[in-house]
Amino acid sequence: MGTPATNFRETFYSKAPPWLRTGVGEKFLYTLELSRDLLVEKAVQAVKIRFPGQGDVSQLPYLAFDRQLLQGPAESDASFTARLRGAFAAWGLAGSRVGLLSQLQAYLQNLQPGVTSTLPEIALVGGCDPTITTWDVVRFDTPSIALDGGLPARTTKLPSNWDWDGKSIPWRAWLILYMALVPTGQSGSAAQTGAAQPSACFTSPGQNVNGVWVPATSGTPVNYPWIVVTGLSGITGENVGQWLTMSGSTNPGNNTTAPIVEVLSGSSVLIANPNGVAFDAGPLTWSIGEYPFIGPGPVWGAPGFILGGGEASPPPVDTGSNVNGTWKPTAVGFAPSLSWGLDVSADVIASLRQIVGGPGKGWKSAGTYYESLIVAFDGGDGTAGNAYSPNSSEGSGNPDGTWGGHGKLVNGVWVPNRLVSSAYDAHCQGTGTWQACSVPNLT
């Protein structure tokens, strides 16, 4: 009985056409053997590492590299090692929706503690086909795909309920991260609001003064978002960036969830409420929540606003255009509220891009690329009418083909050009590569 390699050759040559039994065939066979040996060796190492004295934790990144198996920020070594035991099977699923969601689920585990288990956590959606949209959604209570045999909930919609920009490019897809608000435990029933103050953003970006374009420093505000809320308790500096929810007002605009942009005292804060409501003596019931994994960055114009990690590289600087002989900046189209940026480490977004395939490190089945990574702060429970829901229709929760560009960098904050139902969603660059598809990347 021969060695496995001999048996492999004998089997190969017994079924191979004559041209493969030449020198060219020998090179081809040698390449196959190397590939087989490499895969078998890595699979063996992935199994051996769980036995005492047979491996070391330092092996984990090496064993995971060619399968894009990333260890999540809150994932234990034991969990990651257990996933590596199935590394060979994971490689076989590489590039499939189940394979991608398996790795995303493991990477994101425990990053949103306390979220209602039935809420959606992540989704992959393909909506380029003119007739069908396919959704694969993982909820917080979905058993581990990698360890427990869980599967995403698949929904196929006919006719399509997703149309990003009116183009039919079947190999495009989107990764959706649903962010859930988690209570901090702070609450009360004696809040009241002050009068709304105008923003520093004006409907006119500037004016022509004797042939020179001058940015506007006064004029009609875009809205009146700045509101002081008093009657709170236990407020600290850590509440900046968290969200205040109020209810019980006869003014619907005050019954809202709005970001805290500045702490004024232990009982008062400044919020950004794009509804621009008037003074309300209350008393209003209030509570505070936070996004523990990825939160919206502070609103543009807020004290100490920061640039988030949504973009792999800053977009080109807007240099303006020639308007009637005068060079002027391109006007920024503001949504009903102010602009937002992601409050998150760029490394997190970079890791998510790596998992979904690229650039340059994609899964072996590279027939799909991800147009955008959508961070949704308004996903709700996935029912009809919610944003980015398999149960919603185009234009009512899901893009309807008028999405257009994704936005631009304005004073250090990424501003979306189009919004679904929330002014706080963010759209990050995707993998940005078509990876062996039949035609170039059309975006």
Give the model confidence (pLDDT) of 6-61 as tens digits.
455 555 555 556 655 556 566 665 666 666 665 666 556 655 655 555 655 555 55
Shared-domain flag, residues 186 and 169: no
Count how many domains the chain has. 3
Nearest alpha-carbon partner for 173 in 120, 136, 131, 139 = 136
Shared-domain flag, residues 192 and 280: yes
Confidence category of residue 339, pLDDT binned at 50, 70, 90? very low
236, 266 in Cβ contact below 8 A? yes
In the DSSP assignment, the letter for residue 329 is P
Pairwise CA distance, residues 381 & 180, whole Å: 10
Mean pLDDT on 199-207: 70
Structure tokens at 193: 């609001």
Instruction: Decide which of 290, 309, 330 is a domain's last residue.
Output: 290
Structure tokens at 122: 């992540």
Shared-domain flag, residues 200 and 271: yes
Instruction: Decide which of 270, 290, 310 is a domain's last residue.
Output: 290
Shared-domain flag, residues 160 and 193: no
Q: What is the pLDDT of residue 336?
A: 36
Percent of the chain scored above 70 by pLDDT?
63
153-157/133-139 β-pairing:
antiparallel
Shared-domain flag, residues 348 and 419: yes
Pairwise CA distance, residues 64 & 45, whole Å: 11
Q: Is the pLDDT of residue 404 over 60?
A: yes
Nearest alpha-carbon partner for 340 in 398, 275, 427, 269 = 427
Question: Which residues 6+ apart lie within 8 Å of 73 measured at CB?
Answer: 107, 111, 348
CATH number at 226 reads 2.40.30.20
Instruction: Decide which of 62, 91, 120 is a domain's last residue.
Output: 91
Q: Is the pLDDT of residue 80 over 70?
A: yes
The number of helices, as runs of H, and strands, as runs of E, in the chain is: 7, 22
Residue 353 lies in a domain: yes
What is the SS3 assignment for 67? helix
Residue 49 lies in a domain: yes
Residue 304 lies in a domain: no
| pTM (whole model) above 0.85 | no
Residue 379 lies in a domain: yes
Nearest alpha-carbon partner for 70 in 31, 98, 102, 95 = 102
What is the DSSP secondary-structure string of 349-388? HHHHHHHT--SS---S----EEEEEEEES--TTS-TTSTT
Shared-domain flag, residues 133 and 46: no
CA atoms within 13 A on the CB side of 339: 26
In the DSSP assignment, the letter for residue 317 is P
Provide the β-strand partners of residue 216. none
Q: What is the pLDDT of residue 410?
A: 56
Q: Is the pLDDT of residue 284 over 50?
A: yes
Segments forming the whole domain that contains residue 32:
23-91
What is the SS3 assignment for 403? coil
What is the SS3 assignment for 146? coil
Mean pLDDT of the chain: 74
200, 184 in Cβ contact below 8 A? no
